[in-house]
Structure 1
Amino acid sequence: MSVKSLLARADALLAQDKHSEALETYNLVLAQDDANFDALVGCGRALTSLRQYDFSLAHFNFALTLKPDAAIAYHYRALAYHGAKRFDEALLDHQKALELNPGEIATFLNLANTLAELDRAEEALEFYNGVIAMWPKYAIAYNNRGNLFLDNRMIEEALVDYAQAAKLDPGQNKFRWNQGLMQILLGQYLEGWKLYEAGFETAGFARGERKRCPQPQWLGKFDVKGKRVLLYAEQGYGDTMQFCRYAHQVAALGAQVILEVQAPLVGLLKSLGEQFIVVAQGSGFTEFDYHCPIMSLPMVFGTTLETVPAEVPYLVADKSRQSAFNLGVSNQMRIGLVWSGSASHKNDHRRSIPLATLAGLLKLPASFHCLQKEIQPRDQALLAELPSIALHTEQLKDFNDTAALVDAMDLVISVDTSVAHLAGALGKPVWVLLPFVPDYRWLLDRTDTPWYPTGRLFRQPTVGDWDAVLTALEHALLQQLTSP
């Protein structure tokens, strides 16, 4: 096939979001012409969509050696930098792309998106307003301005923009998805969980992918008594631990429940009860009659704030595993700490805290234990200098181990990660540290959560203000340590 035909095919695949196939086809072009600018840019775009940012950037860098003034290469390299959370570099590339091609609407919009990520809200708003003024029917601009309003707790403004985006482009599921997240955040569960279903049809697979199999999907519309219903995990570990509680409600309908979950969770989720079958994702298990995404269950059961199934513990730790940890014999309060999550999480730069921020907390008279397995590079050197935190990273092989360690704590203090959900599911006291605008599941303003009765929430009063959170946390902990 000719280079021209291959390029046309690759471009079509990319437009259909078939990123891996597009990448393979662009590489066929490069096999014939290793300096083909269009194929290099195409590879970079496909790799960005596949979140392989280092490889993506390498392709754009090579393309720009061939055409140093190609606005399109700066435009798409900026998106790769943005995806890699290298926002300052993304901003420079957006500006260069606009210098070379001042009329490109998508670059204006993406520049605003990057300014928003840099928390330069006023500048971002100015660009969003400018885009909307020039193109008043550009639905995605309203959606993204809505995101900016949400990030700054301008709730009514965000709702208006999301609604306008959905009105202008009713077929775009991303806008319905965002409306659903907002409604859940506001506690409007009945409508919010219905709109949450739009996440399966959203570009980028906001909710992962629907299960593809011969058996039909069940979303509560018919009787499953005597049937085998597979509930499958679709997002992160914390999501699975939060929503696996609904297995009991499905079982109460008379169904045999199978949970298909991430492999590191299989052992732990067996503690839900002997009546449940728990299998690993990718195991090829097919012995079921119906299937249901685990995060569709709040919608299936018409969950409201008042009817959240909140009986804890619903997961149980294997105490025999605690012997693997050096917990010490101190008579001090044992406190488990999680200050950062996975660096690959799209919102990690907002939810995680530098270890240095905990310096004041670590001076309090307590026995501190690190519950994290992943330590970010910025914290490794400092952690080595802090004997006040006991490390257990080598012993944490799966979530059964983490559960045993959490169970040995008197209190867990965590940012918004899977360990917060694990502690809540185990019924342990857990204090969760939240950014100014939290994930939808934590609602707004409350210091408690209907999902975990043993939870207490500490929230940023303004964007990025972890100092205020730690001050409140230290005060609360000191009170607990000194109370009779």
Structure 2
Amino acid sequence: MPSLDLILQGSEWLARGRASEALHCAEEALRQEPHDADALFLLGAAHYRDGDLAAAEARLKQAIQANGKVAVFHSTLGNVYQDRGALPEAVAAYRRAIRLKPDFAEAHNDLGTAFFAQGDPVRAAESYRRATELRPDHAIAYANLGAVYRKLGMPREARHALQRELVLRLRNFFRLKKRHRSLAELAHEELRLGNPGLALRIGRRALEQDANNPRVMALLAAALRQEGSLEEAIGCAQRAVDLRPADARSREQLGSLLLKAGSAQSALPHLEECVRLQPRSPQALLALAEAHMALGDREQASQLAQRSSALEPKDATLWVRLGELLSKQGLAAQAELAFRRAIELDPAAPAAWIRLAGLLRLGGRLQEAKTCAEQAVALDDESSAALIALGLALREQGRTSAAVARFEQALRLEPQRAQALQQIGEILHYENKIEEAERRFRDGLKSRPDSIALLVDLAMVLGDQMRYAEAFACLEKALAHDPRAAPALAAKGILQDLTGREAEAESLLRSALQAAPQDADIGHSLASCRLRHWHFDDGWKGFELRRHKENFIGRYRKFPFAEWQGEPLDGKTILVYPEQGLGDEIMYASCIPELVARARHVAVECDHKLGALFARSFPGCTVTARLRTMANDWVNHLEPRPDYQVPMGSLPGHFRRRVEDFPQHGGYLAPDGRKVAAWKRRLDAIGPGPKVGLSWQGGVGHTGRARRSLTLEQLLPLLRLDGVHFVSLQYTDVDGEIRDLAARHGITVHHWQGAIDVYDETAALVCALDRVVTVCTALVHLTGALGRPAIVMVPFGSDWRYGAQGERMLWYPSVRLIRQGAIGDWPPVIESVRGLLQG
């Protein structure tokens, strides 16, 4: 007898309570296929029914080792643990089953029993109640719920539950008198138990008997979807629709599968027909809303989502989906209500807590996000998704060590979890631990060699080390796996731009955006590419997408003022707030005088380092210098109260739309005159000859430090110029490098740490110097904004702020750009700078 027949026969014996016959069938099936997970499970379940808990545990663990993604395997192991009195292990097993199949009623019921045994009747009641919601015909769950209600002193609720149990027992008794179940019914039962693999085997056997059975086709589609065979699932679902075109469920299944495959346009007519057939189905309306959202029709998606929620579905998972859709639409308040409604319906399900934590984190409510994530972890401490949610909240709070610990914990539970590994790698990347980040990404690829996410992350780390050939090889591998993978297309476009292939870069970024039109990171990258080539009209428009990026600092700034969209400002007050780095703050501040000319009053928030400089430079403005925190209540004390708010990075979109809009200024920042005089006296004491400020390192690992930085050894042709005195303006720790230079070559680079630590002193020193020579760093912006002469050594494939070509930097007339002609080729640049200094 074939192994499948033996498994089916053994399951039938087991259902009749004849464990010895079931054992015989399982053993015979295992002789044929020794590693068959379903046969191992049958053997374990038979041992459990026979009372041999040790043998049952051993065989069930073998089944899980062979296939750990079957919910019923874990829940049955939980029953063994519970019968042994190992309650914590039982709870963990039931939670694993529920994590695999959240609507698995039996696992919820058994989890309730374990909670009750642990002396926690409240949590037991929640689990039993959830089991009855998922399976209204679950007599045992109603009996258990009635018993718990009695324990909790709730007699009326207990009576209702027990009455329901009695009705169901009678109904189920007569159902047991029915004929043997069909293969289709058996396949459906295996799907319900969370075993799509066995459901697929049974379904294919059923198809041999009836090739035109639409129910079997739909079951096969469901099983194939769970097994990850999306294309084959779509084929079966299409066949089910062909056989029953007026069946709403078949239409919804096919539409959802097509939507999951990225074919929203093909999904649309099926989901529309489903809604026509079932106009009051919340699930059908939501699926159609998701299709419209995927096609970029936010308005229609919103209307359908509202219709779905108005029907008040009782399914918590549907509210979670609704919350996700609303979140994608930017409707954070409505999304939060949806997630909280899901929690009301099923407070023990981690999924809604995890989604709510993510939403709150993106809204800057970090402590609330952390609390929600902690609740998810408390509900299931083996949930890698919950641990990642907690890690993300901790990371946003700046607690990177604690975040990494949670991500590492998630990886131990689920080594294949790419997101946890990505987060660890990104933290290392941002902390300038480039080599360690590379190692972690490579480690991840050992177990997941085709992971597009990991290949892209590794490519970007390699790119930051200027190892472009290796980086492109990673991306080619990713694109060979999926030619339309938007992250890989975008990463390749970014690297093409850095290596001087602008046309290819823009084409790739457009292809990536076409594949993922809602991806703000890709849209922002394309905008940066356009701005680099001085295409300001669409460049600034796309640049606004930065505000939707997850790492956008300004997303936490939730001020109670209207967003300024270019409205007239006569008689109005506007708040300008920072959002990016120090150099960007200075660069965008060039627009403040134009804003002052339009508004009654301008309030400016800036980095605490820039407070004195901005207050002096913009005397008509209210300047608030502060450390960036999540607290925004300080704006309540502003007088006059602002009518509008605008992030600094959005100002150029209003005031720098053409090359002609960039003013030929002589500096818009004003140094402290007394400090400038003091620095001039100090510089005069060095001796005669020009005094040149020098900065030779820029950025950190993830902002292209390797590409845009030099060493003092590389700069020796400059440093050996007779009569020129060099003064360090380098903000990183360079004392050792300066000492080594003096010891090896007898060359002095003057360095006063006090001028570096206080930015107002830095500004004064820059104004006291004859000129500045620097790599691409915040010093460029400071020097240019002060109107002082600067020579900037620009790497090949420069940042958009420096443009794509030429010696002119639009933002600063006093700045001259000397560009690399090839990647990493600094000697010609240094020679050009030397010539300028000599001249």
- 8 Å contact 2:672–2:764 — kept in the other structure? yes
Matched, 1:264 2:609: yes
- 8 Å contact 1:229–1:292 — kept in the other structure? yes
Q: CA RMSD in A?
A: 3.3
Corresponding letter in the other structure for 2:683: L
Deviations 1:48-91 (CA, angstroms, capped at 9, x unpaired): 66675555555566777x67966756565444444444343333
Match of 1:327 in 2: 683
The alignment partner of 1:264 has SS state of helix
- 8 Å contact 2:728–2:752 — kept in the other structure? yes
Match of 1:312 in 2: 666
Match of 2:572 in 1: 227
Deviations 1:114-146 (CA, angstroms, capped at 9, x unpaired): 333333323322332232232233222211111
Whole-angstrom distance in 1 between the partners of 2:421 and 2:623: 48
Higher relative contact order (CA 8 A, sep 6+): 1
Deviations 1:211-243 (CA, angstroms, capped at 9, x unpaired): 4222212121x2211211222222122112112
How many residue pairs get matched? 475
The percent of aligned pairs where both chains have the same amino acid is 27
The alignment partner of 1:354 has SS state of coil
Match of 2:589 in 1: 244
Output aligned runs, 1:467-482, within 5 Å.
467-478=827-838, 480=839
Choose the corresponding residue for 2:436, options 68, 89, 108. 89
- Which 5+ residue runs of structure 1 have no aligned equivalent? none
The alignment partner of 1:209 has SS state of helix
The alignment partner of 1:163 has SS state of helix
- Which 5+ residue runs of structure 2 have no aligned equivalent? 1-90, 96-347, 627-631
The alignment partner of 1:337 has SS state of strand
Whole-angstrom distance in 2 between the partners of 1:133 and 1:70: 21
Match of 1:457 in 2: 817
- 8 Å contact 1:449–1:455 — kept in the other structure? yes
- 8 Å contact 2:350–2:379 — kept in the other structure? no
Output aligned runs, 1:156-175, within 5 Å.
156-175=503-522
Q: What's the CA shift for 1:24? A: 5.4
Whole-angstrom distance in 2 between the partners of 1:397 and 1:78: 30
Match of 2:781 in 1: 421
Match of 1:347 in 2: 704
Q: What's the CA shift for 1:265? A: 0.9
Whole-angstrom distance in 2 between the partners of 1:97 and 1:433: 37
Deviations 1:423-476 (CA, angstroms, capped at 9, x unpaired): 111111111122212121110121121221111112222223333322222232
Structure 1 residues 93 and 14: alpha-carbon distance in aligned structure 2, compared to 1, 3 A threshold: farther
Whole-angstrom distance in 2 between the partners of 1:133 and 1:30: 37
Whole-angstrom distance in 2 between the partners of 1:168 and 1:37: 29
- 8 Å contact 1:45–1:56 — kept in the other structure? yes
Whole-angstrom distance in 2 between the partners of 1:237 and 1:79: 22
- 8 Å contact 1:227–1:255 — kept in the other structure? yes
Deviations 1:389-412 (CA, angstroms, capped at 9, x unpaired): 221212445322111111100011
- 8 Å contact 1:447–1:456 — kept in the other structure? yes
Q: What's the CA shift for 1:377? A: 7.6
Match of 1:369 in 2: 727
- 8 Å contact 1:265–1:398 — kept in the other structure? no
- 8 Å contact 1:219–1:296 — kept in the other structure? no
Q: What's the CA shift for 1:278? A: 1.6
Does 349-358 or 435-444 show the bigger shift? Answer: 349-358
Q: What's the CA shift for 1:155? A: 0.6
Whole-angstrom distance in 1 between the partners of 2:801 and 2:788: 19
Whole-angstrom distance in 2 between the partners of 1:400 and 1:208: 25
Question: Looking at CA atoms only, which structure, 1 or 2, has the larger radius of gyration?
Answer: 2
Whole-angstrom distance in 2 between the partners of 1:391 and 1:67: 50
Structure 1 residues 256 and 134: alpha-carbon distance in aligned structure 2, compared to 1, 3 A threshold: same
- 8 Å contact 1:10–1:23 — kept in the other structure? no
Match of 1:124 in 2: 471
Whole-angstrom distance in 2 between the partners of 1:53 and 1:467: 39
Q: What's the CA shift for 1:36? A: 8.6
Whole-angstrom distance in 1 between the partners of 2:787 and 2:491: 38
- 8 Å contact 2:349–2:379 — kept in the other structure? no
Does 45-54 or 386-395 show the bigger shift? Answer: 45-54
Choose the corresponding residue for 2:750, options 379, 390, 393. 390
Whichever structure has more helix as a proportion of its residues is 2
Choose the corresponding residue for 1:208, options 554, 564, 567. 554
Matched, 1:190 2:546: no
The alignment partner of 1:457 has SS state of strand
Corresponding letter in the other structure for 1:366: V
Match of 1:104 in 2: 451
Corresponding letter in the other structure for 1:332: G
Structure 1 residues 264 and 85: alpha-carbon distance in aligned structure 2, compared to 1, 3 A threshold: closer
Whole-angstrom distance in 1 between the partners of 2:736 and 2:379: 43
Q: What's the CA shift for 1:194? A: 1.4
Structure 1 residues 155 and 14: alpha-carbon distance in aligned structure 2, compared to 1, 3 A threshold: farther
Choose the corresponding residue for 1:443, options 803, 825, 831. 803
Match of 2:653 in 1: 299
The alignment partner of 2:574 has SS state of strand
Structure 1 residues 135 and 16: alpha-carbon distance in aligned structure 2, compared to 1, 3 A threshold: farther
Whole-angstrom distance in 1 between the partners of 2:700 and 2:470: 27
Match of 2:619 in 1: 274
Whole-angstrom distance in 1 between the partners of 2:429 and 2:756: 32
Whole-angstrom distance in 2 between the partners of 1:195 and 1:62: 38
- 8 Å contact 1:79–1:90 — kept in the other structure? yes
Whole-angstrom distance in 1 between the partners of 2:352 and 2:531: 41
Q: What's the CA shift for 1:96? A: 3.0
Corresponding letter in the other structure for 1:170: P
Match of 2:144 in 1: none
Whole-angstrom distance in 2 between the partners of 1:403 and 1:160: 41
Structure 1 residues 129 and 404: alpha-carbon distance in aligned structure 2, compared to 1, 3 A threshold: same
Corresponding letter in the other structure for 1:431: I
Deviations 1:328-373 (CA, angstroms, capped at 9, x unpaired): 3322101111222454773333323233322332211211112234
- 8 Å contact 2:569–2:598 — kept in the other structure? yes
Q: What's the CA shift for 1:254? A: 4.5
Q: What's the CA shift for 1:293? A: 1.7
- 8 Å contact 2:559–2:645 — kept in the other structure? no
The alignment partner of 1:433 has SS state of strand
Whole-angstrom distance in 2 between the partners of 1:390 and 1:237: 24
Structure 1 residues 14 and 350: alpha-carbon distance in aligned structure 2, compared to 1, 3 A threshold: farther
Structure 1 residues 173 and 412: alpha-carbon distance in aligned structure 2, compared to 1, 3 A threshold: same
Q: What's the CA shift for 1:153? A: 1.2
**TM-score between both structures, scaled by the size of structure 2:** 0.52
Structure 1 residues 198 and 338: alpha-carbon distance in aligned structure 2, compared to 1, 3 A threshold: same
Structure 1 residues 341 and 383: alpha-carbon distance in aligned structure 2, compared to 1, 3 A threshold: farther
